[in-house]
Amino acid sequence: MTKLKNGGWVLIADGEKALFLVNDGDDAHLNLRVVRKDEQDNPPTREQGANRPGRVFGSASPNVSAFDDTDWHDLAKERFAADLADLLYSRAHAGRFDQLVIIAAPQVLGVLRSELHSVVTDKILAEVPKQLTNQPMDQIEKQVAAALGDAA
């Protein structure tokens, strides 16, 4: 069973909000505190797209097909996750944390995994595919403890 030591970090993220937490407690009793909160304004795609989808005319037949419209909302979520990965790299490279637990919405966690540098991945204790950004701190602490194999 791995423990999150004093000074260990927890990242809670979805596609629009991220909470960076630090453990002010010890490895036996978590006491997580928010040290940074990032949010992005990401309206639904219908509010971001300006044009109708493009059309393709077949040269051999009279059929017309439409292209799928770009999902700007999902692209913004992926960009946000990539930005979080860059931020984690800069903080890890500067020695700001030695341990990291990531709890993120599944789509965000997938993007983070592909974007994280080995400097960061070497410090990860656990990854949990859940959305907890709007949960109270005691629930977040329980999820972190459960992810680390501690029945808190």
Q: Which domain holds residue 98?
A: 9-41+65-147
- The closest alpha carbon to 121, from 104, 101, 146, belongs to 101
Q: Do the Cβ atoms of 36 and 22 come closer than 8 Å?
A: no
- The closest alpha carbon to 46, from 69, 67, 65, 14, belongs to 69
Let me know if residue 76 belongs to a domain: yes
Over residues 90-123, the pLDDT tens digits come to 999 999 999 999 999 999 999 999 999 999 999 9
Cα distance between residue 107 and residue 129, in whole Å: 8
Torsion of CA 19, 23, 25, 29, to 10 degrees: 80
Over residues 49-99, the pLDDT tens digits come to 555 555 555 556 666 555 556 666 577 778 888 999 999 999 999 999 999
CATH number for the domain that contains residue 87: 3.30.420.60
Let me know if residue 115 belongs to a domain: yes
